[in-house]
Amino acid sequence: MGNRTMRGEVAIIGVGETTYYKRGRSPDPEFKLVIEAILKASADAGIDPREIDGFASYSNDRNDPSRIAAALDIKDLRFSNMEWGGGGGGGSAACAHAASAVATGLADTVVVFRGLAQGQFGRFGQGARVPHVRGDQAYTAPYGLMSPAQSFAMRIHRLYEDHGITQDTLKACSLASYHHAQNNPRAVMYGRPLTPEDYDASRWIVEPFHLFDCCQENDGAAAMIFVSADRAKDYAKTPVYFLGGAVGSGNRAGSGSHNATDYATSNFKTVAPRMYEMAQVKPEEVDVAQVYENFTGGVVMSIIEHGLTTYEEANEFITFENLTAPNGKMPINTSGGNLAECYMHGLELNIEAVRQVRGESCNQVDDVNVSLVASGPMVTPVSDMIVGSEAVL
């Protein structure tokens, strides 16, 4: 079968983000935001955007690559791809697809992008406003499970019951993200610190989620540029190498009506091992992690399922001190993440993973060679990505 891996074959040479806005506050439509992010990623890489010949996105992104190619005056569009389903679980999958296209010669310069203008198209975090329900929702909506928070809270109650996880462990994830956002001028929550007392006093959204356990709702766009490793050193910034990626979920993860075989899971139990195998990296070699926060309970599950701690030690390991840069045992969400930087459907986490390897983070961890991203816990499919420095090749 040969060496079926992309490890070290592809590099990320540019990243770009628009201003991040509170939901509904963007002055520009979604398509314009996407173009702006791509142009900023191109400037970061030092390339002419007309060099781009491929696009990858996820979660039913509305921005058609053919239209983007026309707007950018791209001469030859060679690749366009979107990860099916999974919501924020598709972020690292889109990166893996871009890397695959470059590694196999389908395209030379591929952009991963995500754009959101919830003021233009509607909210993700709200239950659907429809006159009737059908399919899976017919089994849940009449009983009050309509929004993502309501549905995912069920899994976290099971996590508490099965493994003794505590509310303080969820709190630590929230406090770490807000702490990191205070050093990040891009963050929507910059200048709005969170104390343990503020967390405890905040209203319940649905137990066990307080207000500050839940991701933001934002407008904006983000983009990343992938090229082959042998071209990467020709560009402006230090290359960050794609080491491994994986996408999927376990047995019956997509079964309806909360009927999954394994209920108290973030769905990474089968995915993370495949990612580590491709990357040729062990959990103990990860220097920093960006873990998608739809809700803090999913972060706790993901940290455990990626082998960064165990169920038995989670409450002792997942603490504010251990999760914060620069000196924590496992700093996470060092830009502020979905909770406090921006909910760019998680792609801002993939960008922060790149910045950590470059040494450009606002909350830089020392000597980062291996940077992990876990995208979309508790949805299906989920996806993973590990990037690294030249030192680990």
Return the half-sphere exposure (C-beta side, CA atoms, 13 A cut-off) of residue 55.
28
Q: What is the DSSP letter of 166?
A: -
Active site residue 292: yes
- Joined together, the tokens standing for residue 348 give 């801002």
Per the CB < 8 A criterion, the answer to whether 290 and 337 are in contact is yes
From residue 237, alpha-carbon distances to 10, 51, 233 in Å are 15, 17, 8
Sign of CA dihedral 128, 129, 135, 139: positive
Calculate the CA dihedral of residues 137, 139, 142, 148 and round it to 10 degrees.
-50
Calculate the CA dihedral of residues 332, 101, 393, 308 and round it to 10 degrees.
30
Residues in the chain: 393
Cα 321–chain centre separation = 22
Sign of CA dihedral 283, 289, 292, 296: positive
CA–CA dist 44, 60 (Å, integer) = 27
Positions marked catalytic: 292, 343
